[in-house]
Structure 1
Amino acid sequence: MNQNISMVGVPMDLGQNRRGVDMGPSAIRYAGVIERLEALGYRVEDKGDIAIEKKDAVKASPKNLSNLYAVTKANEKLAETVASIYEKNAFPLVIGGDHSIAIGTIAGASGYFENLGVIWYDAHGDLNTAQTSPSGNIHGMPLAVSLGMGHPSLTNIQTSKPKIKPENVVIIGARELDAGEKDYIRQSKMPVYTMHEVDRLGMSEVMRRAITYLEDKCDGVHLSLDLDGLDPHDAPGVGTPVIGGLSYRESHLAMEMLAESDFITSCEFVEVNPILDEKNRTAEAAVALMGSLFGEKLK
């Protein structure tokens, strides 16, 4: 993995409706992310935080797209920042913030790869659009947007073309999918490893299959890790917890196997909400998982 890491925080809380996730980047920094990665031999540049505008107030958001304009502006800035990180031959590490920021991360990364793959580590599919979303919250739409589905303000960031292909996406840990998301998954035949598959196959086999599936067809792979992919027992500080999730140990195994694969070219860790957390446990879990992803070993 690239020894030069550029980290950028995105204190976004406008993609959903629970306050506090904008403090996620600060909580992750407080949990010692820079020190942990530097101890592994990486050179870490902290580029600070993307400036986030206020909620859409003057110009009303389109129906079922809360704060569309502010979310778009933040993701445009993030996409430009991620692109600039690649131009400097560094590894983009993005910390959030709600999951709507994946729109910008993937948009910025997609210009540097012919076939960008994505591992979506999440309790949710985030494949909704304004037409299918039960809430209108954009943090439930970033994967759909990256696939070219959604409002043009979002899908046209960096380029009007889809940033990724459905056959280059693997979802891991899903256990709460909306009706429209299920329809899309069936139609596209996107590989999805729900908790049913994780329980039946085991995390080692799930990750082996995901890595084998992507490594032959993708020239870069982005990891988008939502902390609500973990069970609330291990990551209580998230806005949309879903019981029955991936364990702390399973998640470390997943990150260790991705480190061994050596094909992750960018990543983001999102949805850390200190207000809902217990003594910063969720941010500390995020940092520990980053350690495993970047090669930390017990011996």
Structure 2
Amino acid sequence: MASTAASKPPSVGVVTQTMASTAPSKPPSVGVVGIPFSKGQPRGGTEHGPALLRDYGIVERIQDLGNKVTDYGDLTLDAVEDDKPWNKVKNPRTVGQANRKVSECVSKITRDRQIALTLGGDHSIAIGSIHGHAQSCPDLVVVWIDAHADLNTPLSSDSGNIHGMPLSFIVKEMAPYTARLPGFEWCQPCISARDLIYIGLRDVDEAERAYMTECGIASYSMQEVDKYGLPDMMERVLKTVDPTGKRPIHLSFDVDAMDPEYSPSTGTPVHGGLTRREMYYIAEEIAGTGRLSCLDVVEVNPSLGTEADRKKTVRTTVDVVSHFFGKRREGNVSADFKMPLPQK
């Protein structure tokens, strides 16, 4: 069942430098789902992210690149009444219930051999997204692009915000250090620490750093980005999590991975982040593998900042996402393009 989906993950096709290769032989199929959710953190607004990304043409941009796109609309996610905190953890049942729906949806999309594009929502939705993806592609690898490690547990978190904990619920080696929350009875760890790698870290809590070291989770912080440069770093990233070059990739992209100059309308901005140009390169390299199988886009919060901040954040995000789905700065040639010739 699952091994079939994993052995031939969807492909985004555009790989080499030759003119013929700029148009994929078979356009990939993409399933888009909105996850209007903000209960994993204290600020309202991320629930409006999916609608705003659609308003700025994210679906059309992907279609225009030759991809077949099915938009499944937004999930209906209700708050659980009287959702009392567990220890300091806020909204555990609401977050757990929402992520169960996300898991079921992403599992269906990827089983149907579509690349799942999840439009968040805060980063707590990655619990369900990765869990659901792992049901259809159990040999997936996770590339987590973020300023933050999001590896706190219900026991180590100072804030109690679950958007800072998603990986602690799904990494198997984290089980001895965490606690199971009410509402999360369905969620079992589904990836190994060696199958996860970070890009862009620059705000990591002490407990998270200790967990990363203890569990052997690889990371490329902004220090390593500066040290190695993107071409060398991306080669290292892909060889670290998938030296065989065959496994499906789950990429979870928090817009705060970018410097606030490019994504100011987000809840936890941290200066010194990735530039738009650097994100283009990362996206093009991931697309070039032909193994992107699920992409989370999270933490766009249109309620934060000015109107100009909101427009900049959304436009940059849509531009970056288009590069994950085949847009190349060298130019693209569509599958149905015909060279204009002089009439005889």
Provide TM-score, normalisation by structure 2: 0.82
Q: Is 1:268–2:276 an aligned residue pair? A: no
| Preserved CA contact (<8 Å) 2:30 2:68 | yes
Equivalent-residue separation in structure 1 for 2:287 and 2:260 (angstroms): 25
Q: Is 1:211–2:238 an aligned residue pair? A: yes
Calculate the aligned-residue CA RMSD, in Å. 1.6
Equivalent-residue separation in structure 1 for 2:161 and 2:134 (angstroms): 24
Q: Is 1:175–2:206 an aligned residue pair? A: no
User: Which secondary structure does the structure 2 equivalent of 1:101 belong to?
Assistant: helix
User: Which secondary structure does the structure 2 equivalent of 1:120 belong to?
Assistant: strand
Displacement of 1:153:
4.7
Displacement of 1:292:
0.7
Counterparts of 1:243-282 in structure 2, within 5 Å, are 243-277=271-305, 278-282=309-313
| Preserved CA contact (<8 Å) 2:86 2:181 | no
Task: Tell me the equivalent position of 1:35.
Answer: 60
Paired AA for residue 109 in structure 2: I
Counterparts of 1:82-93 in structure 2, within 5 Å, are 82-93=106-117
**Structure 2 residue aligned with 1:58, among 77, 82, 94?**
82
Equivalent-residue separation in structure 2 for 1:223 and 1:292 (angstroms): 13
Displacement of 1:206:
1.3
1:135-188 Cα deviation digits (max 9, x unpaired): 00000011111114442556643x53x211101111000000111101011112
| Preserved CA contact (<8 Å) 1:215 1:263 | no
Q: Is 1:96–2:120 an aligned residue pair? A: yes
Equivalent-residue separation in structure 2 for 1:255 and 1:152 (angstroms): 34
| Preserved CA contact (<8 Å) 2:97 2:184 | no
| Preserved CA contact (<8 Å) 1:166 1:188 | yes
1:121-142 Cα deviation digits (max 9, x unpaired): 0000000011111100000011
| Preserved CA contact (<8 Å) 2:53 2:314 | yes
Equivalent-residue separation in structure 2 for 1:28 and 1:139 (angstroms): 20
| Preserved CA contact (<8 Å) 1:114 1:219 | no
Displacement of 1:83:
1.2
- Work out the number of aligned pairs and report it: 296
Counterparts of 1:111-150 in structure 2, within 5 Å, are 111-148=135-172, 149=175, 150=178
Equivalent-residue separation in structure 2 for 1:245 and 1:154 (angstroms): 34
Task: Tell me the equivalent position of 1:231.
Answer: 259
Paired AA for residue 171 in structure 2: L
Task: Tell me the equivalent position of 1:73.
Answer: 97
Q: Is 1:24–2:52 an aligned residue pair? A: no
Displacement of 1:88:
2.0
Equivalent-residue separation in structure 2 for 1:153 and 1:249 (angstroms): 42
Paired AA for residue 102 in structure 1: A
Which consecutive residues of structure 2, in runs of 5 or more, have no partner in the other structure?
A: 1-10, 13-27, 332-344
Displacement of 1:87:
2.7
Deviates more, 1:117-126 or 1:212-221: 212-221
| Runs of 4+ off more than 4 Å | 152-156
| Preserved CA contact (<8 Å) 2:83 2:92 | no
Task: Tell me the equivalent position of 2:31.
Answer: 6
Equivalent-residue separation in structure 2 for 1:268 and 1:279 (angstroms): 19
Seen in structure 2, the aligned counterparts of structure 1 residues 26 and 41 have a Cα distance that, compared at 3 Å, is same
Equivalent-residue separation in structure 1 for 2:91 and 2:256 (angstroms): 22
| Preserved CA contact (<8 Å) 1:27 1:280 | no
**Structure 1 residue aligned with 2:191, among 164, 169, 183?**
164
1:25-73 Cα deviation digits (max 9, x unpaired): 111111111110110111111111111212x542412112110001111
Q: Is 1:46–2:74 an aligned residue pair? A: no
Seen in structure 2, the aligned counterparts of structure 1 residues 42 and 98 have a Cα distance that, compared at 3 Å, is same
Equivalent-residue separation in structure 2 for 1:140 and 1:84 (angstroms): 26
Task: Tell me the equivalent position of 2:314.
Answer: 283
Displacement of 1:216:
2.6
Q: Is 1:222–2:231 an aligned residue pair? A: no
Deviates more, 1:239-248 or 1:211-220: 211-220
Equivalent-residue separation in structure 2 for 1:232 and 1:247 (angstroms): 9
Which consecutive residues of structure 1, in runs of 5 or more, have no partner in the other structure?
A: none
User: Which secondary structure does the structure 1 equivalent of 2:303 belong to?
Assistant: helix
Seen in structure 2, the aligned counterparts of structure 1 residues 142 and 154 have a Cα distance that, compared at 3 Å, is farther
